[in-house]
Structures are given as C-alpha cells and as structure tokens.
Structure 1
Amino acid sequence: MTSGVDLPGQSHERASALLRRWLAETHTPVVEGPLRLTIGSVPLGTDVVYSSVTGAHGFGPIRVLDDAGEPVAIADPALIAAACSADARARALPDAPINAADAGSLVDWLLHALPRREFDPIALSDDLIAVARSVSDAAEARRWLAAHVEGRLLPAVLGWEGDVAAATVQLLTRGPLAVIGLLGRRGVVDEAELLAELRTWLGGVAEAHPVSGWLVERWLTSPTLTDLAALNGSGLRYRADSGRVEVRPVPFEVPNPLWSGAAPAPGVPVPVLGEGWSLRPVEVVGDDGGPDVALVQRWMNAEHVAVNWNQAWPLAQWREELAGQLGGQHSVPCIVGLDGRDVGYLELYRVQRDKLARCYSHDPHDLGVHIAIGEPDAIGRGVGSSLLRAVAGGLLAADRECRRVVAEPNVHNGASVGAFGKAGFGRAAEIGLPNKNSALMIFERGE
C-alpha cells in the first residue's frame, strides 16, 4: 500500500497537511479506509492509508466529489484552504476576530507561504523537521528520543515558569509527539512503541524531580493535551496589526496519546429535579415506538428545535435512535415535565463515552446534558434556565463523585448559551466539533 507521503508532488503534501489540521481542530474521528466529509460547501473524499494516534494521518489522493459522491477532480491546496477559511468564518460569530475586516484569511497565508516553500501554518522547528526526515530506523528513533528527553526536554521542564498550556505546546505536542507521528507515517517506527518509551522516560523525570514533576505528571494523566489551531477557531487571525501576513494561532485540546485511560465510568443517573419538574426515561413500545417516541419526533421536527438539533427525522428513525440509546451505556433520553405537562426532551450522558471526551480534560464522573424545550409556548419564559439549574443540581446530588456537569451548545445558538449562563454554567472554551463550533459550558460543584 502506498502512503500519502509517497505520492509525487508537493501539492498533495500541502493538501494533506491542511486536511490533517482540519480533522484535528474539528475533533473528527479518523480510521483507516474511505473518508468522506464536507468542508464549507466543498465535498471531499480520500482514503486514509495511515491512521495516527498523534494525528499525523496519511492520505491517498484527495478529490472533490460531485452530488452523487463521485470524484471529479483532485483537490489542490488552494481549494482546501478556501473551503477551510469559509467554513471557519461561518462557524464563528460575525463579531469574532476571525471575521474582522482586517483579519485576513487562510488563503492569504497560503499565498504568502507557497513562495517560501511552506505548507504547514504552524511548522515544527527546523531541527525537529530534520530529525523527522533523517531518522531511518526504529533503533535510531529510540536513541534520538532518549537524547531529546535528557538533553532538551528535561532542562526545559526544570526551568519552566509559564503555564501548563504553553509548556505543553512548546515542549510536547509541537515537539516529540509531532516527530513521533511523522516517523510513524514514514514507516520508520511504530508510534505505539515510541510513545511507550516516551511515557517511561517522562515517568522517570517525574520520579527523579518531584518539585518539577507536576508538569510531566499532568502530561501522563490528562486525557487531553493542548495544541495550537491554525485553521478553525473564532480567535484566529491571519494578519497582524501592521498588515503583515502571519498566523495568530489559538490553543485547543487534542486526545492525549500518552494517557493510559481512566477508570471505567459509571452509568448515567436519572436525577430527581423537584420544584414542579418531573423527569423520566423515554419509553419505547410497539412497532412505532409508542407515544413517547411520537412526542420526541414531533418536537424534533418543530422549526424552533430542528434549526439547532438538525435531527428532523421520520418516526422510524427516532424509534431506532431512542431504542439504541436505551440499550447502551452512553446516554439516557428523557421526557421533562413541568407541573404535570410534558414540555421538553433531555439527553443525559457520561462525557467519557461521548465525542466531547476528545475536547477537554474530563473526569470519569463528568456528566453532560443536551436540552430541547419542545413546546413553543414554553420558550422565552425562563423555563430553559430553570430546568438546567434543576438538572445540574439533581445530577450532582445523584452522583456525589461528579464535580462538573457540562454542555456544548452551538456558539450561534445565543438563546441556549444564554440559558446555560443564567443557570450557573460558565463558558470555559470554544470547541470545534465535526459539524459546528460549540461553547463548552460547565456547571461546577460548589465547595
């Protein structure tokens, strides 16, 4: 099998670099085999010929697809850059820095970078690029890693005075982890083996230097690590105040390939809400699903819900969806009542089993909530924020080890973001997801 990096031409390398970044920054799962996605309005298709735990995926030819999903042309870097730029702007709010009149665009950066033979908006340092290109076998890769940890990483850790995020980017994700990914993609070494060696070296650093070991201990135990985004994020800009083209990256979280995994997460509790609220799991009965499925399907097809949930499905599909949730361990779909009347739909879930687990440093007991007020006459009366306060309090009471209840409403859904805020959820970050940018909202347990 030929890997993407073996295909001739810098155009494919540049297109692949942009695609890798977009997939990482939108937390899109990647597995070997066919990959189909739409960036902006451009449908793309390729084969993932190397799936990397560090994000250094390799691709076959990247093609533009027609309406029938058939390839019609090779996607060049300029097209992918334009698609990413348009999609990133649309994902962000109109007044975000990326949408400022003087912010520039990813296309500006590409036109600036091509004459300089650059294709990665946040490239590794020249010496690390040389390592990734010159190391020729696994033994040499292990020797380089040992020397890097002892001679470069350890002194930097011991002398570090900045914050964890900056240290992680400068010393880890844009350093040895990126090199390991490149060596894996080249077929020089198995990423898992070299990551295991790095994990052992870092464990030794933490043990030998307990005063400074907190930093590497964090790297070993956190489910996510900080990296830099250059394609997607409301805070991005591609022009400095002087007008010079340069990328102003923004931090974001990526899954930690050094993490050995958390303890199994418990099931999802159904809390008691009180204050006139009722909450019960959806009941699925009969071939059509029964009255609960019909109610959820009606709400999801209502215009005010469909615009944000994008799940205006037929009854049969909702029956399958709800039955699947009830039969699994990920989430519990529930009907919410107020003063004896059914008014809305909730999905309660453990973050560790959700796509959100890729986006922030979660705890096994973190719980999440999706909310839809289904009845139109219950909108705009404070029902949503009152319900969210009751749900957050009820979940924390139901699981005494849970410290956080979280949610991820679309940044464009100002009403939902506002309702979470009024309910006591704080906005912690913006996160990229495959089909939207979300506000990460967190309700913390009080001391």
Structure 2
Amino acid sequence: MASQSFDLRLPAAGVASHALACGQPLLVSSGLMSGDFRVEYHGMEVASGNLSGPADVLVFDTLSAATVAVAADDIVNAVLEAILTCNPQLGCVELTLADDSLARRLLSLGVIELRGDRLIGRPETFFQQTKPWLGSIPHAYPEVPILTNGALHPQRPPKPTGRVYKRFIPWLNTQLGFHVADVEADLEHFHRWMNDPRVAAIWEDGSDLAYHRDFIAGRLADPRTLPLIGTFGGIPFGYFELYWAKEDRIGPHYDADGHDRGWHVAIGEDDFRGKAFVSAWLPSLMHYMFLADPRTRRIVGEPIHHHSQQIRNLDRSGFAKIKHIQFPHKKALLVMLLRERFFMDRLLSPDLSGLTDGDGLPVLGSLARDAA
C-alpha cells in the first residue's frame, strides 16, 4: 500500500535557503502534488522529491548538483531547513538517500543520525549545524587565558565583518539577517535610533553624529563586544550588542563561564515591533550566539527589573529568572538561557498560536506549546 502524502506546507514563493553558503540561494518550493517539493538554483531544478506519511519519509526522486557551486550536501540541508522550519510539528523525518557517500558525510557532521537502519533528521541536531545560517563552519578559537581588569578569561577571536547570520522567517515570508555594524553604512540609522525617545529612555545614549560614530567604533575596537545590525528583507531595524560575560560588568555577579555570552538590544523602527517580529529576531539572535562558538553553553541578559514586556518575551523564549542584581545605574534581573534548553525544546520555532496568514490558516513556523 502506498503511503499517504504529507500535507507539506511551504510558502507559495518558496523558502530561500543557504543564502550565505551558496551566494544565490537555493529555492525550496512545493511541487504539483501534495507532499512534493522541488529545489531550484539560478532557476534550474537541482532536486525534487516528496515527504510522505504517516511515517514522514523524505524521499529524493532526483538529486543532482547541477553546478560546482552547489553540493548535494547543501541541497539536502536546504530541504531539511525548509521542511523543519515551516513544519515544526514534525519531531523528525526519515530520509531515503541513494548515495551512500552522501549519507556518510551527513552522518559524520550530525546533520542526520542512524536509528537502527534508518536515517533520521531531527530539529534538535539539525539546527545546531552552522553552514546553513552562518555560511561556514567556524572553528573553536584557541583557548589562551588572559587577564582584563582583574577578570581571567579566554583571549577573544578577531571580529567577523559583514553578514554573520541569515535565516528565512516563514510567518513573515522574509529573510532576517545580522551583520557587523559598519561605521559609515550604519551610522545614519543608528544615530536616528539612539535619539528616538523610546530608545533613549533605556540606552541614555542620545547625542550627535560624532558621538555615535565614536560609539560604534569603540564597540568594534573592544574585544569584549560585537555590535550587530538586524535587518528584515534587507531593511535595518535594530541594534544588537553582544558581549562576552566573563569580562563584562555582569561577570562578577554570577559564576560566569569563559564562553558565556550576553546581549543588549535597541529596536529602532516602529514598523518592526510586535509579537511576529520579536518572535523572529530574539530566537535567531540566540541561535547565532550558540552557533558562533560551540563552547557557548549559556546566554545571559540583564533587563531592567521593571521592564515587564521584555521580561515576558524572555520568559516565553526559554530564559530562566536567576536573581536581581544591582548595577550603579540600574537594578537588573539576571536571566539565563541554556544551550540544551534552546535546542532540545526547539525554541527556534516560537509559539505563534492565534496568528493566521492571509488564507486564515495558522502561520507557518509556529510550534504550539502547553501553557505549563
């Protein structure tokens, strides 16, 4: 008996995957029949297949790297990314691959795993891959202890430049990206954001262009911090400042590990506020920090203690409330997200229950969770 086709949901325009790894993205879209998919690169079909039920078996009918720029590994990754991102209710999928050498490569990287004689793709392991979102596989920078202002911590790697992360957001049908702040290219909107009364009330860094030029340059020069600009569909919308916790002001307030990381945020564009947007950038930022260094086990934050909306967002995103801490300038709540919690609870897929698309269907990419 033939397996029933799976009601595979993908955006009508497809999922643009691996924008970093391949330059021109691989486009994963639905085929003619329910459960079918096809993959295109520069308008040329490079793979097709179907996801059939009830066992959720992913079968590649065709799989051909049509150009030297696209490897079969990237095609499989693109299909898994599209399916697991848009259909997070799938706990796993079983893959059928005719190429044994391809299967061995994917197994060695942890993209898939062997369960008996079956090849299985699980979101808990797949979303810990780096190439689909970072565009590369970062190495673990050599760990050499150094002392900064009395704090013993690992020497930090050189700063990246340009785009560092890109991910398709199915419920917004657009790409979210983070790039390292550029003093010239990002100064104008950064200056406007920091002078916005809503942002200035928290950051207290409203000033002139010269001050903000020095601000960005200073963060770029500081080994402890990484200033990022977030974009939706290429449009800048917010500033994100990552820091290594060990040598930061937060480090003395808890038992900080050498690779714990923290972050600050300033959303500068009102058009990109609200649940649908924060549910995109917040887990994606956590995803980037966990992928950038595999030794990062915890991410911390220090929201001001009375910022109830931000604390609710963090609570929904898996952060535990640890304790209140007193800084010279504010009383803050120390919050913490564990790597294990983030990936094992599949927190990259938010609960967007109640949000619907233009056809009145639940939005793509939402993973409903019990209130408890």
Q: So what's the TM-score if we normalise by structure 1?
A: 0.39
Higher percent of residues as strand: 2
Larger Rg: 1
Q: So what's the TM-score if we normalise by structure 2?
A: 0.46
Higher percent of residues as helix: 1
